[in-house]
Amino acid sequence: MSLPVGAGLQARVNGVRAYLVRATGLSALFWAVALVATGLVGAWVLVGGEGWRQGSDVPLALDAAIAGALVVGFFAVRAAVRRAFSETHLASAMERAADLPRGIVQGALELSRATPPGVSDSLARKAVSGAVRKLEGHDASRLSGALGERVTWWARRGRGAAVASIVVLIALAVASPGRARRAMAGVLAPIATASDPVLPPLSVLPGDVEVLRGSDVDIEVSAAGRETVFLEWQAAGDIARTEPLEVVGGRAAHAFRTVAAAIEYRVADGDGNRTGTFRIVPVDPLFVSDLVLSVTYPAHTGIPADEYRGDPPPLRLPQGTRLAFEGRTSRPLASVALRDSSGTGALEFDVDGSGFRAEWVPRENGLFAWDFRDRAGGSAEIQPEPLEVTLVPDQVPVIAIPVPGRDTIMPLNLRQPLVVEAFDDYGLRGVELVAYRVTSFGERMEPVSQGFPVGGQRAILARPLLDLTRWGLVPGDTVRYYARAIDNNPAAQSAVSPEYVLRMPEAAQLRRAAEEAFEGVAERLEDLAAEAERQAEANRDQALEAQSGSEAQEGGEQGTQAEDFEEREELRRALEEQQAMSEEVDSLRAEMEAMERLLEEAGQADPELRRQLEELQEMLQQMTGDELQQRMEDLEGALDQENLDQANQSLEDMAAQQEEFRERLEEALERFKRAALEQDFRATTTEAEELARQEQALADALEQEDQPEIRARQQEDLARQAEALEERMADLEERLAEQGEVDASQGV
């Protein structure tokens, strides 16, 4: 039977065994970590820079080696633990550690389990109790003795190996993280890595291609997962060839140098995979063989169409010009375009084989480069220079009224002569003069326009007469006018001249205008009198020469005809000169009539002035006389009948009447000079009276002492008027003295 005290001894032995097992397990763990870390270091070394090749068995073998080592180590440690940590070995180690006699612990253990025959139980218990007492005071690590020291030695070695291998592994991972990841990936998935790869199909660039004859062609093969591929090729007229190509990074390359003949080629690998057969075709360079550019200008410009062959020159085009391109190239085309400086397509051409055509209306300036592409995407080797286009906008017409070119007062005859100038770069469609009346009350009347024929001319100079005689104008009215030009652009661009003002003369201006009219007529009469005297003398000389007798007919009939023709021409010139003077007199009379009407409409014709105008008109009407008119008609009739004798007689009679005509001109001249002087006297008197009334009114206003600034300006204005009046009075006094009007001169 077992002794109760034996349980304590057995517990101490089991405690030592448990301690040793734990220490052995920790040591085994250290060595296992060191083994795994060493295996990973080996994987890092074996993986290479590009990672595990698909189908590689190395990761699987490495994993198997690590796993096998771990299993073998596990069972070896297990067997060693069972053998080394048996009760006999533990009892012996404990006896030596506790300095007990050899066999005492083993004997006590045996006595505790069963008392041998013949041995008393009390002695057995005493022996066991003594062994237990001797082991007290010693812990399990102390009692493990030599076994514990051996286990501790292996644990320290295992820990050192684990730390060293882990440090190396970490250093390698830091030095090449990608390689470490690739190594770990293979170790963690060894079966997937070891499985045979599914290779992607072979692919070849550029495949079928057309190249310029004599150029190089680079072939690129995509052959992932292969180490070597084979290029099979044959040039036209040559034998078939095969060349191995090394695959680097999944790609292989080959260059066909100076391709001059068609080449068929394909690529194969060692597993029997092949690409399709491709063809390299050498072609001649793409170039433009013909180019025609037709330029159609806008119709309104009147510019005839142009055509350019070959490289067109820089184009300076009116806006709206249409360009038509047509040409051919050496080979079939895929596309043709004109591109601006940014590379954007400005014009795409229609392509038909090797021909191309397009129509284009440029919208902006620029330098446009040609872009020819064949069906293989190649560009043209020879092509036109870039097309330079400069657009010229259609300018707005220019129009002006240079004469009178300012605001002014209407003529007394209410007929204002104007000069209108207009210009357009491509031609004028129309020019018109627009005028409208503004009454003295500010009412604007409907405008009246007068057009001029221009016929598409680029520049015109018109001299219209603005006739206002039928407008019923009164003092205070104004007439505003301007000119408008419209060019022949389809958009009908227009321009308007500055607007000018014609003012109806005031009362004082009308009086002075009458004076100026008298003086003007007097000057013209003076010129007419001198001309009449010259013509009368010339006509008398010509008549006397004709009456001196006919010259001898020595020159024959032909000579007589020439002399007669010359004589008739001289007679006709004399008649035309007299007719011109008569028409001038009629023109003067018409001006006097217009002045009379104007003064009557303005209410400014006093009885004395009206009487003078009527007398002067009657004098001008009678100036030519019926006799002079009859002689002119006789001369004209004789010339029409080619009756030189009668014509010379009529010329002599007309010369006598011309003398009387001259005398009447001189008489009229004196009358008009006197009329001008009298009108000056009346106008000056009226102005003096008006100035006196204004001065009196200003004096009355100054007494009220209001608006001093306005009164000061009014004083300055009256002072200027008084100064001007004094100058006119001095001039009038001088003129009266010259005419012998002493009393009137002193009165002034």
| 245 and 264 belong to one structural domain | yes
Statement: residue 715 has pLDDT above 60: yes
In the 3-class helix/strand/coil scheme, how is 396-431 assigned residue by residue?
Answer: CCEEEEEECCCCEECCCCCEEECEEEEECCCCEEEE
* Range in 116-120, 316-320, 484-488, 510-514 with the lowest mean pLDDT: 116-120
Of 157, 172, 193, the domain-final residue: 193
Which of the four pLDDT bands, split at 50, 70 and 90, describes residue 5?
very low
SS3 241: strand
Statement: residue 160 has pLDDT above 70: yes
Determine, yes or no, domain membership for 60: yes
| 241 and 383 belong to one structural domain | no
Within 10 angstroms of residue 728's Cβ, the number of other Cβ atoms is 16
Q: Which of 529, 483, 517, 692 is nearest to 594 (CA)?
A: 517
Looking at per-residue pLDDT, the higher value among 313 and 693 belongs to: 313
* Size of the chain in residues: 748
To the nearest 10°, report the CA torsion of 735, 737, 738, 741: 100
Average pLDDT over residues 681-709: 72
**Which residues are within 8 A (CB) of 77 and not within 5 positions of it... i.e. 6 or more apart?**
24, 28
| 95 and 170 belong to one structural domain | yes
* CA 14 – CA 9 distance, rounded (Å): 9
* CA 334 – CA 279 distance, rounded (Å): 20
Determine, yes or no, domain membership for 713: yes
> What's residue 155's pLDDT?
80
Average pLDDT over residues 412-441: 90
| 442 and 586 belong to one structural domain | no
* CA 441 – CA 169 distance, rounded (Å): 112
* Edge-to-edge strands, sheet with 228-235: 209-212, 278-283, 263-269, 228-235, 241-246
Q: Which of 529, 471, 476 is nearest to 505 (CA)?
A: 476
SS3 161: helix
| 577 and 677 belong to one structural domain | yes
| 376 and 461 belong to one structural domain | no
Q: What residues make up the domain containing 492?
A: 398-504
| 111 and 188 belong to one structural domain | yes
Structural contact between residues 521 and 589, judged by C-beta atoms closer than 8 angstroms: no
Average pLDDT over residues 397-425: 90
pLDDT digits (tens, 9 = 90+) for 351-396: 999 999 999 999 999 999 999 998 878 888 889 999 999 999 999 9
| 540 and 682 belong to one structural domain | yes
Average pLDDT, the chain: 78
> What's residue 190's pLDDT?
77
Q: What percent of the chain has pLDDT over 90?
A: 28
Determine, yes or no, domain membership for 590: yes
pLDDT digits (tens, 9 = 90+) for 19-77: 777 888 888 888 888 888 888 888 788 887 777 776 777 878 887 888 888 888 888 88
Q: Which of 586, 619, 624, 617 is nearest to 599 (CA)?
A: 617
| 319 and 270 belong to one structural domain | no
- Residue 433: its H or E element: strand 428-438
pLDDT digits (tens, 9 = 90+) for 623-665: 665 666 666 666 666 666 666 666 666 666 666 666 666 677 6
* CA 509 – CA 514 distance, rounded (Å): 9
List C-alpha distances in Å: 203 to 220, 229, 243, 352, 377: 8, 11, 17, 33, 21
Within 10 angstroms of residue 534's Cβ, the number of other Cβ atoms is 13
| 45 and 186 belong to one structural domain | yes
To the nearest 10°, report the CA torsion of 180, 181, 182, 183: 50
Statement: residue 288 has pLDDT above 90: yes
Q: Find residue 190's DSSP bridge partners.
A: none
Number of domains in the chain: 5
Which of the four pLDDT bands, split at 50, 70 and 90, describes residue 585?
confident
Both tokens assigned to 79: 């067997």
Within 10 angstroms of residue 521's Cβ, the number of other Cβ atoms is 25
Chain position carrying tokens 């008392």: 115
> What's residue 649's pLDDT?
66
> Angle, to 10 degrees, between the axis of helix 104-113 and the axis of helix 121-135?
130
Q: What percent of the chain has pLDDT over 70?
A: 68
Determine, yes or no, domain membership for 558: no
| 367 and 430 belong to one structural domain | no
- The rounded Cα 267 to chain-centroid distance in angstroms is 53
- Residue 696: its H or E element: helix 644-704
> What's residue 359's pLDDT?
96
Which of the four pLDDT bands, split at 50, 70 and 90, describes residue 743?
very low
> What's residue 106's pLDDT?
58
CA atoms within 13 A on the CB side of 242: 7
- The rounded Cα 680 to chain-centroid distance in angstroms is 69
Range among 303-317, 411-425, 515-529, 695-709 rated most confident: 303-317
**The pTM of the whole model exceeds 0.95:** no
Q: Which stretches does DSSP call E strand in 134-257? A: 203-205, 209-212, 217-222, 228-235, 241-246, 251-256
What is the dihedral sign for C-alpha 300, 303, 307, 311? negative
Of 392, 427, 459, the domain-final residue: 392
Which of the four pLDDT bands, split at 50, 70 and 90, describes residue 239?
very high
Determine, yes or no, domain membership for 566: no
| 166 and 23 belong to one structural domain | yes
Which of the four pLDDT bands, split at 50, 70 and 90, describes residue 702?
confident
* CA 734 – CA 213 distance, rounded (Å): 109
Determine, yes or no, domain membership for 1: no
Both tokens assigned to 86: 């048996």
Write the DSSP assignment of 623-691 as a string of letters. Answer: HSHHHHHHHHHHHHHHHHTT-HHHHHHHHHHHHHHHHHHHHHHHHHHHHHHHHHHHHHHHHHHHHHHHH
Within 10 angstroms of residue 364's Cβ, the number of other Cβ atoms is 8
Structural contact between residues 253 and 226, judged by C-beta atoms closer than 8 angstroms: no
> What's residue 108's pLDDT?
60
Helices and strands, number each (H, E), in the chain: 15, 29
pLDDT digits (tens, 9 = 90+) for 654-670: 666 666 666 776 676 67
Looking at per-residue pLDDT, the higher value among 329 and 43 belongs to: 329
Q: What is the CA radius of gyration of the chain?
A: 68
Statement: residue 592 has pLDDT above 90: no
* CA 360 – CA 320 distance, rounded (Å): 10
Of 218, 253, 283, the domain-final residue: 283
Q: Which of 436, 494, 490 is nearest to 466 (CA)?
A: 436
**Which residues are within 8 A (CB) of 172 and not within 5 positions of it... i.e. 6 or more apart?**
41, 44, 179, 180
* CA 663 – CA 504 distance, rounded (Å): 37
- The rounded Cα 171 to chain-centroid distance in angstroms is 63
Instruction: Report residue 735: phi and psi, to 5°.
Output: -65, -40
* Range in 6-10, 216-220, 483-487 with the lowest mean pLDDT: 6-10
* CA 670 – CA 672 distance, rounded (Å): 5
* Edge-to-edge strands, sheet with 345-348: 315-318, 387-392, 366-374, 333-339, 345-348
Looking at per-residue pLDDT, the higher value among 553 and 306 belongs to: 306
Determine, yes or no, domain membership for 238: yes
Structural contact between residues 481 and 466, judged by C-beta atoms closer than 8 angstroms: yes
CA atoms within 13 A on the CB side of 273: 16
Determine, yes or no, domain membership for 554: no
> What's residue 61's pLDDT?
81
> What's residue 129's pLDDT?
60
* CA 266 – CA 276 distance, rounded (Å): 6
Longest dimension (CA), the chain: 218
Statement: residue 336 has pLDDT above 90: yes
Statement: residue 146 has pLDDT above 60: yes
Q: Find residue 563's DSSP bridge partners.
A: none
